[in-house]
Amino acid sequence: MERIKMTTPLVEMDGDEMTRILWKMIKDELIVPFVDLKTEYYDLGLPNRDKTEDLVTTDSALAAMKYGVAVKCATITPNAQRMDEYRLHKMWKSPNGTIRSIMDGTVFRTPITIPSIKPAVRNWQRPITIARHAYGDVYKGMEMKVDEPGKAKLVFEGQSGSTQEIEIHDFNGAGIIQGMHNTDKSIRSFAHSCFKYALDSRQDLWFATKDTISKTYDATFRQIFEDIYENEYRAAFEQAGITYFYTLIDDAVARVIRSKGGFVWACKNYDGDVMSDMLSTAFGSLAMMTSVLVSPDGKYEYEAAHGTVTRHYYKYLRGEETSTNPMATIFAWSGALRKRGELDGNTVLQQFADRLEQACLGTLNDGIATKDLTGLMEGVEPQSVNSLAFIREIRRRLGVSITPTPPLF
């Protein structure tokens, strides 16, 4: 069988732990047999990030901006435990945070839904898309630990020579300090992306912050959204029959639970990180949540919304069988291939991405699934399989004969 040709490479960002294992399985079983894959490869595994002093992360983001489409594996954001485990030279920042900062994009996360898995919130009838602002806040924050009494101040020195200074806290003893920022430019880009996405998908747009407490920081987000909506999008929203709605973040959570779904929920960076995990689990599994980072000038980075599945990786290292759900990672590949085909006018590549997703959904609809999903299925006779068996069931539905599945992984 002749493999599908590509003209422009994808930027491939490899990752860590169990998702790195799945990454290779997916490429070997579902991509390379069908596509003459062209990628510009970057190893974002934690050992290589440490070896390159994290320059590889910056290089991969710049490559994504150059080529326009990237696909990323889940990666570790190290904490103190990981410092010891991997013997790191430094506690490197979140690679996702670095990439999002360089691309200045918005993350849109939508659950993969199938008829046999009902949402935990039974009144949800349609998927809810999380639009996560992908720049700044705590993900680009600077932190300091202080060990003695003293005053912490926030100081801004303008290029004009002007200075603004406010006292943060007068410490009586040891404590911790965090400084974070955002920019009007990035917030405006976020707002435009959200309004455009809502119009394209013809869904209501909700936005929430905590401007009653954060009367400058969060209030700026709210004001920029409202100004852009009133001046540039209100008429289009009214013509499309959709609405823009602002509320406080805690009220938004309550409203989401009572809703029927079918809208875009725009969140600040941290809120979007937390709420996307909540929504994905409520719709079935975190491994069923797709994620795409979109820059203001139309560059795309596809990835799974979940982490590196550390617990399964430790089982894998012990030689134990794992049943890790690869769906969101597969959909990251299919999304990237489809977008690459769309930008290059490669219809065959787009059609393959559609076929791959249909093969995934067909496998699940037949009741064949990883362990995280079988207990959630209704109306089918579920069959729990390990990760490679699941991937090979998908491959079988793509019409290629395969060798028998080995017992592990």
Q: Note whether 214 and 315 are same-domain residues.
A: no
Contact 341, 348 (CB under 8 A): yes
Q: According to the model, what pLDDT value does residue 20 have? A: 97
Q: According to the model, what pLDDT value does residue 100 have? A: 86
Residue 288 lies in a domain: no
Q: According to the model, what pLDDT value does residue 331 have? A: 97
Helix, strand or coil, per DSSP, at residue 381:
coil
Q: According to the model, what pLDDT value does residue 101 have? A: 84
Q: Note whether 301 and 381 are same-domain residues.
A: yes
Q: Note whether 26 and 127 are same-domain residues.
A: no
Q: According to the model, what pLDDT value does residue 296 have? A: 78
Q: 197 pLDDT band (50/70/90 cuts)?
A: confident
Q: Specify the range with the lowest mean pLDDT, choosing from 14-28, 83-97, 191-205, 390-404.
A: 390-404
Residue 158 lies in a domain: yes
CA pair distance 258, 145, nearest whole angstrom? 41
Whole-number percent of the chain with pLDDT over 70: 98
Q: Note whether 262 and 133 are same-domain residues.
A: yes
Give 332-355 as a 3 state SS string: HHHHHHHHHHHHHCCHHHHHHHHH
Instruction: Write down the mean pLDDT value for the chain.
Output: 93
pLDDT reading at 401 higher than 50: no
Residue 211 lies in a domain: yes
Helix, strand or coil, per DSSP, at residue 400:
coil
Where do we find the tokens 């579902």? 30
Choose one of 258, 283, 308: the last residue of a domain: 283
Q: Which domain holds residue 272?
A: 118-139+183-283
Please report, for the domain that includes residue 58, its CATH number: 3.40.718.10
CA pair distance 58, 102, nearest whole angstrom? 8
Q: Note whether 216 and 168 are same-domain residues.
A: no
Q: 95 pLDDT band (50/70/90 cuts)?
A: very high
Q: Note whether 50 and 153 are same-domain residues.
A: no
Q: Note whether 132 and 269 are same-domain residues.
A: yes
Q: Note whether 338 and 397 are same-domain residues.
A: yes
pLDDT digits (tens, 9 = 90+) for 327-377: 999 999 999 999 999 999 999 999 999 999 999 999 999 999 999 999 999
Sequence-distant (6+) residues with CB within 8 A of 367 are 116, 374, 377, 380, 381, 382, 383
CA pair distance 277, 257, nearest whole angstrom? 14
Where do we find the tokens 């809502």? 198
Number of domains in the chain: 3
Q: According to the model, what pLDDT value does residue 400 have? A: 52
Residue 289 lies in a domain: no
Arithmetic mean of pLDDT, 124-128: 92
Q: Note whether 122 and 259 are same-domain residues.
A: yes
pLDDT reading at 393 higher than 70: yes
